[in-house]
Structure formats: C-alpha cells, structure tokens
C-alpha cells in the first residue's frame, strides 16, 4: 500500500490531558493528521467507565464513548501529581506543539503546570483549556453536564414538541461545540505561530460556545420579534414540528421542508396535487406554520400512501427537500453512507474488528482520516517513554511500582 500523503496537521504533536469533557477537541485535530498522545492517570480516566460497552459488560477498554472520542490517538499513562510524573510531562511538553486540558480552573496552576509555567519550557506552546464555564467569572466554579450545557445553550427551549418538555439533543452537543471552538483557536494559533514563533493560551467555555455552535441566531431572532413586525415565529417556542413538518408514511416518517412557494408546489405535486392543498394561502410559509396541525392532517392522508424511500426520491427529484427519519440502522445502512464509505473498519486489541464512523470530510491533497483505534490504557508507554524519552524498561517497571505510570 502506498504511503499516505502528509495530513494537514501531521507535523504537530498534541498532548491531550482531558478526560471526558473536551476530549473531542484532540480527536478533531487527530482526524486531520495531528500526532495526538492521550495522557491518562495510571488507573485510567473516568471516560472509560461510560456505558454502553462493546458486548455490554463493563470493561475499561470497551466504553463506546471512549472508543469514539479517542479514535486516532495514542495513549500513555502518567500521574502528573507525582514529581517524576510531572518531570516526564514537562519533557513531553518541551517537544510538543499543543496541550489540551479540561481540569477545573486552577488545578494545573496548583501543580505548577499552568500555561505560564509550561511556556517557560516551550515558548511556542499552544495550550487550550476547555471547561464548563471558562477560567473566570461568577460561574467559574460551577459544575455542568451534557444536559445542563444544552439547557443553558438557548437551543433546548426550542427542542421538542410545542406542548411537551424541552428535549435533550443526544450526544454531548455543548462539549462538542466548545471542542470545535477550541480546535479552531488551536489551529489559528499554530498558523500564526508559523510567522511569529509565539505560543498562545486559549480559554474555551462550554457554556459560551454551546449557544454559538447550536443556535447563534437565538438572540437576534428574539430581538427581531420583540422590536419589529417581522412575520417570524417566536424563537422561544418549540416549533420544530411547525417549521420543519414531519409526515407519516407506510413504513415510518419523513420530514419535508418547504420554505419557498416553489418547494411547496413540488411537495403538493408529488403527493398527487390534492385539490384541498392547491389554494394560494397554503403557498405562504407563515400561513403553514400558523396552521401546522390542520396542514398535518391534510398532508398525512396522502403521504401515508407512500414509503419513506418513495417520497425521499420523488421529493428530491421534484425539488422539495425531504428525508426519511432514519433510525440509527437506517443511516448506517443507507446507500449514501455506504457509497461514501463513511464507516471504516478498525482492529482494536481488545474489542477486535469493528466498524467505526469515519470523518465527515474528504480532502484531495491533505487527507488523513481514520488511522487507528482508541488506545488501550498505557498502550504506547514504551513507544513514547522509552523510544522517545530514553527511559529503560527497568525504569518503566520502577515508575509503575511508584504509581507514576
């Protein structure tokens, strides 16, 4: 097999000392070719305990969360609270480009490993802290979680049924949004460093970034409704079913989004032009939003006569965006997912061979994509500590006994 081309970030070494929160940031960089070393405490990080597990039985190498979020990383163990562990970490920092961390604000300073200290070792170091609320301010020491991030993002109030509960967006959306923001800041800093030689410190708050990653329009939409007569839906309402209607089919549901009159005409066309829908008022987007329940009853009668796939194809050929509400299997097995080879086979030392989601992008010249599965605990201790830092196997044994690795 020919050698892979250079990845966009393959000259960079990233030290990832995050556990659960922020760990996606380094994954994003790894997917573009960066050499990421995940550094865990000797007994392993908490993220290894997050269910479900491959084969369902709890096992530190089988958390699906850990496997997904740490794909493409190498892994070593290190207790940075011990003097020896700290010294090893400092050696690694010396030749690294980036440190990503998510400890509670002040923790690394207590160890003498904050940015100020690390910059002394490596003036070109780029360091990002990804924390729940940021490094300062009244909420600095508050605690968050995926659900709390989403609640405070401004997006949850609009999520779910109009008369139902605000409903969580699955996954870790706030954390992911902050991971994106931190990764953008990191690559910006590396790009700048190319001409200035200077390092950079980045403070990424999950709270601040979650709203921007999910719904940056929230504020302007609200102000617009308060301050003008714009015919727009109230942004605070849960309007998903009204703006982006869902209709039943023979074998499931489709979502059909007609924003323009032309798209609406196409929708009416493909379900057989029922007379009751051919009036001028239904062509008006805001009229449809305002009469969503009535519309649903009328349209459902016709969409029920088709399968999801039939309407998916008919709609898109005619010019109205329609998609099936695929379940997870539906997406994984869809013709498009297969044609793009989104899922990639990996071979993990403990889990064995499995198919994992790949990268959402393909690049012509700098491609890298998926290279290896998430590291087992301490899998690369020998590669990094012996071959790079020159420790002996006996040194490793002693460090292990002392609880350092």
Partner 1 sequence: MSNIPLEGIRVVSFGSGIAIPDATKILGELGADVIKIESKVNPDFMRTIASDPNNSPGFNESNRNKRSFGVNLTIEKGKQLVKDLIKDADIVTENFRSGVMDNLGFGYEDVYKIKPDIIYLSTQGYGKGGPYSHYRGYGPILSAASGLQSIWAQPDDEYGCGGSFPHPDNMVARQAVLLILAALDFRRRTGKGDFIDIAQTEVAASLIGEIQLDYTINERIQKPIGNRSPYAAPHNCYRCKGQDRWCAITVFTNDQWGRFCDAIGTPQWTEDPKFSDTAQRLANVDELDKLVEQWTIEQDQNVVMYTMQAAGVPAGIVQNAFEQFNDPQLQWQNAFVEIDHPVAGKYPHPNIPFNMQDMEFKQSTPAPLLGQHNEEICETMLNISKQEINRMKDEGILESVLQEKQE
Residues in 240-269 that interact with partner 1 by CB under 8 A = 240-241, 243-244, 246, 253-255, 257, 259-260
Contacts of 361 (CB under 8 A, 6+ apart): none
- How many angstroms separate the CA atoms of 55 and 52, rounded? 9
- How many angstroms separate the CA atoms of 300 and 295, rounded? 8
Contacts of 393 (CB under 8 A, 6+ apart): 382, 386
Q: Which of residues 297-326 bind partner 1 (CB under 8 A)?
A: 312, 316, 319-326
- How many angstroms separate the CA atoms of 231 and 118, rounded? 54
Least CB distance from residue 45 to partner 1, whole Å?
15
* Residue 396 in tokens: 């490793």
Regarding 180 and contact with partner 1 (CB under 8 A), the answer is: yes
Least CB distance from residue 94 to partner 1, whole Å?
21
Residue with tokens 């009469």: 291
* Residue 32 in tokens: 């573009």
Q: How far is CA 290 from the centre of its chain?
A: 34
Q: Which of 123, 216, 274, 349 binds partner 1 (CB under 8 A)?
A: 216
* Residue 46 in tokens: 């908490």
Regarding 198 and contact with partner 1 (CB under 8 A), the answer is: yes
Q: With respect to partner 1, which residue has the nearer C-beta, 6 or 387? A: 6
* Residue 10 in tokens: 């393959």
Least CB distance from residue 164 to partner 1, whole Å?
7
Binding region for partner 1 (CB under 8 A) out of 198-206, 270-278, 293-301, 394-402:
198-206
E strand or H helix at 381:
helix 381-381
Regarding 343 and contact with partner 1 (CB under 8 A), the answer is: yes
Site for partner 1 (CB under 8 A): how many residues? 154
Q: Distances from the Cα of 97 to the Cαs of 21, 34, 190, 301, 381, in angstroms? A: 21, 10, 8, 60, 19
* Residue 81 in tokens: 């609270």
Regarding 335 and contact with partner 1 (CB under 8 A), the answer is: yes
Its sign, for the CA torsion 110, 75, 187, 345, is negative
Q: Distances from the Cα of 385 to the Cαs of 39, 77, 401, in angstroms? A: 12, 10, 16
Q: With respect to partner 1, which residue has the nearer C-beta, 230 or 279? A: 230
Q: Which of 43, 106, 123, 220 binds partner 1 (CB under 8 A)?
A: 220
- How many angstroms separate the CA atoms of 34 and 183, rounded? 12
Regarding 274 and contact with partner 1 (CB under 8 A), the answer is: no
Least CB distance from residue 393 to partner 1, whole Å?
34
In 3D, which of 137, 167, 163 has the Cα closest to residue 150?
A: 167
Least CB distance from residue 59 to partner 1, whole Å?
12
- How many angstroms separate the CA atoms of 351 and 123, rounded? 40
Least CB distance from residue 398 to partner 1, whole Å?
34
Regarding 207 and contact with partner 1 (CB under 8 A), the answer is: yes
Q: With respect to partner 1, which residue has the nearer C-beta, 65 or 89? A: 65
Least CB distance from residue 387 to partner 1, whole Å?
25
Regarding 55 and contact with partner 1 (CB under 8 A), the answer is: yes
Q: With respect to partner 1, which residue has the nearer C-beta, 82 or 334? A: 334
Least CB distance from residue 265 to partner 1, whole Å?
14
Site string for partner 1, 91-130 (x = CB under 8 A): ----------------------------------------
Regarding 3 and contact with partner 1 (CB under 8 A), the answer is: no
Regarding 204 and contact with partner 1 (CB under 8 A), the answer is: yes
Regarding 152 and contact with partner 1 (CB under 8 A), the answer is: yes
């Amino acid at each position: 097999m020919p050698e892979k081309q250079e990845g966009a970030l393959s000259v960079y070494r990233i030290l990832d000392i995050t556990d659960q929160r922020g760990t996606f940031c380094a994954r994003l960089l790894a997917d573009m070719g960066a050499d990421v070393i995940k550094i865990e405490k000797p007994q392993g990080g908490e993220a290894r305990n997050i269910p479900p597990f491959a084969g369902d039985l709890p096992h530190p190498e089988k958390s699906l969360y850990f496997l997904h979020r740490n794909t493409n990383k190498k892994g070593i163990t290190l207790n940075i609270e011990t003097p020896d562990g700290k010294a090893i970490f400092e050696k690694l920092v010396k030749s690294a480009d980036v440190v990503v961390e998510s400890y509670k604000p002040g923790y690394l300073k207590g160890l003498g490993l904050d940015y100020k200290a690390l910059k002394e070792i490596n003036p070109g170091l780029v360091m990002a802290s990804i924390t729940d609320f940021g490094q300062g301010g009244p909420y600095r020491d508050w605690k968050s979680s995926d659900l709390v991030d989403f609640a405070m993002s401004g997006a949850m109030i609009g999520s779910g049924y109009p008369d139902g509960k605000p409903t969580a967006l699955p996954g870790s959306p706030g954390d992911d949004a902050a991971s994106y923001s931190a990764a953008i800041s990191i690559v910006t800093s590396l790009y700048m460093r190319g001409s200035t030689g200077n390092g950079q410190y980045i403070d990424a708050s999950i709270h601040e970034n979650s709203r921007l990653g999910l719904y940056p329009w929230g504020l302007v939409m609200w102000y617009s409704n308060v301050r003008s007569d714009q015919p727009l839906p109230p942004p605070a309402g849960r309007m998903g079913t009204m703006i982006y209607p869902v209709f039943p089919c023979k074998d499931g549901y489709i979502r059909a989004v007609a924003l323009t009159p032309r798209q609406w005409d196409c929708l009416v066309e493909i379900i057989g032009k029922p007379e009751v829908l051919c009036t001028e008022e239904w062509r008006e987007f805001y009229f449809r939003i305002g009469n969503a329940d009535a519309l649903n009853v009328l349209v459902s009668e016709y969409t029920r006569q088709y399968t999801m796939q039939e309407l998916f194809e008919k709609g898109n050929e005619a010019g109205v965006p329609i998609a099936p509400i695929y379940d997870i299997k539906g997406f994984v097995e869809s013709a498009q997912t297969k044609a793009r080879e989104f899922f990639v086979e990996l071979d993990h030392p403990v889990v064995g061979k499995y198919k994992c989601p790949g990268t959402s992008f393909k690049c012509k010249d700098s491609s890298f994509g998926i290279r290896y599965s998430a590291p087992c605990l301490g899998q690369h201790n020998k590669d990094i500590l012996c071959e790079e830092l020159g420790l002996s196997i006996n040194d490793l044994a002693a460090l292990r006994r002392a609880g350092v690795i």
